[in-house]
């Protein structure tokens, strides 16, 4: 397959074309991934222990799914058994996934703490000028914390792709992801924004359907997320990863 250009449009279109051409095997993989999340349907009193299933197993299967997508893009020999290749890096996949989640949560937590601390210490001075300056400083810190989220996501979101492709250590995966994405952070973030808009549109239609007692829309939305939007996004990111890696190799 010809390497995709380094544009969001090319990544999306190539990802879609590859997804459609391999819809069968990707659907089976998506179904297996979906099964690992069914723990949410288990009664709450049993979830505490069983929640380890999606926490540990799903990232492993996800890495296998990424590896399968990369093989399909590169037209390498592949089969559904590749979905379980993630078990060869069984401890690395959950660890990287947890760090990626923390990358999102920690800045939000910090901004929340700053906000609470700032407004909780207004009594620090009766001087309105000093109080206003403190509020401005807290506001700047909150903005910086929130703005760091898309930057960090763009830099390190391909860590699991590096793991699936090269089986490196978690630290090396994060470092390699940062090097691969360098100079293309906005494009990667744009991909996430595009799929975020798609997801928002589906949620909007679903909310209208639910308001009109069309309950089946919930099932339809789950199917769209699991068998179309999700696999297409992974395939698009895999296309982006492959294109960026080949470009880096050409410049090396």
Structural domains counted in the chain: 1
Quick one: pLDDT band at residue 134, thresholds 50, 70, 90? Answer: low
Residue 124 sits at φ, ψ, to 5 deg, of -60, -30
Three-state SS at 130: helix
Radius of gyration for the alpha carbons in the chain, expressed in angstroms and rounded: 21
pLDDT at 124: 45
Quick one: pLDDT band at residue 110, thresholds 50, 70, 90? Answer: low
CA distance 81 to 25: 10
Cα 201 to the center of its chain, rounded Å:
18
Q: What is the mean pLDDT of residues 8-31?
A: 95
Does residue 67 lie within any of the structural domains?
yes
Q: What is the mean pLDDT of residues 170-199?
A: 92
Quick one: pLDDT band at residue 45, thresholds 50, 70, 90? Answer: low
- Report residue 126 as tokens: 């009766």
pLDDT at 17: 96
Does residue 2 lie within any of the structural domains?
no
> Greater confidence, 146 or 123?
146
- Report residue 31 as tokens: 């179904």
pLDDT surpassing 90 at residue 229: yes
Does residue 184 lie within any of the structural domains?
yes
Does residue 3 lie within any of the structural domains?
no
Quick one: pLDDT band at residue 91, thresholds 50, 70, 90? Answer: confident
Does residue 226 lie within any of the structural domains?
yes
Three-state secondary structure along 135-189? HHHHHHHHHHHHHHHHHHHHHHCCHHHHHHHHCCCHHHHHHHHHHHHCCCHHHHH
pLDDT at 114: 58
Does residue 119 lie within any of the structural domains?
yes
pLDDT surpassing 50 at residue 230: yes
Does residue 1 lie within any of the structural domains?
no
pTM: 0.83
The DSSP-derived string for 185-219 is HHHHHHHHHHHHHHHHHHHHHHHHHHHTT-THHHH
User: In this structure, are residues 248 and 184 in contact, taking their beta carbons and an 8 Å threshold?
Assistant: no
Contacts 24+ apart (CB under 8 A), 77-84: 78/25, 79/25, 80/25, 80/28, 80/29, 83/29, 83/32
- Range with the lowest mean pLDDT among 143-152, 163-172, 191-200? 143-152
* pLDDT tens digits, 148-176: 677 778 899 999 999 999 999 999 999 99
Q: What is the mean pLDDT of the chain?
A: 81
pLDDT surpassing 60 at residue 12: yes
pLDDT surpassing 90 at residue 53: no
> Greater confidence, 71 or 103?
71
CA distance 246 to 131: 53
Secondary structure element (H or E) that encloses residue 20, with its range = helix 8-21
pLDDT surpassing 80 at residue 63: yes
Quick one: pLDDT band at residue 22, thresholds 50, 70, 90? Answer: very high
Quick one: which of 233, 243, 202 has its CA closest to 12?
Answer: 233
Q: Looking at residue 126, what DSSP letter applies?
A: S
CA distance 86 to 90: 6
User: In this structure, are residues 61 and 90 in contact, taking their beta carbons and an 8 Å threshold?
Assistant: no
Domain of residue 136: give its range: 8-251
């Amino acid at each position: 397959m010809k390497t995709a250009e380094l544009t969001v449009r090319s990544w999306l279109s190539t990802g879609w074309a590859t997804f459609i051409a391999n819809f069968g095997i990707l659907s089976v993989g998506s179904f297996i991934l979906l099964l690992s999340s069914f723990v949410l349907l288990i009664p709450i009193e049993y979830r505490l222990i069983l929640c380890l299933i999606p926490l540990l197993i799903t990232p492993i299967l996800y890495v296998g799914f990424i590896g399968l997508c990369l093989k399909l893009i590169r037209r390498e020999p592949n089969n559904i058994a590749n979905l379980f290749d993630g078990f060869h890096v069984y401890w690395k996949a959950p660890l990287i996934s947890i760090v990626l989640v923390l990358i999102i949560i920690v800045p939000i937590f910090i901004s929340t703490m700053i906000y609470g601390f700032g407004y909780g210490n207004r009594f620090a001075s009766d001087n309105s000028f000093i109080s206003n300056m403190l509020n401005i400083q807290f506001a700047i810190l909150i903005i910086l914390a929130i703005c760091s989220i898309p930057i960090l996501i763009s830099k390190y979101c391909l860590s699991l792709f590096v793991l699936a492709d090269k089986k490196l250590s978690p630290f090396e995966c994060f470092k390699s992801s940062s090097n691969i994405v360098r100079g293309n952070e906005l494009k990667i973030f744009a991909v996430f924004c595009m799929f975020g808009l798609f997801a928002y549109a589906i949620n909007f239609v679903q909310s209208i359907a639910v308001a009109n007692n069309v309950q089946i829309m919930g099932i339809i939305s789950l199917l769209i997320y699991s068998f179309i939007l999700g696999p297409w996004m992974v395939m698009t990111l895999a296309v982006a990863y492959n294109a960026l890696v080949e470009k880096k190799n050409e410049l090396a």
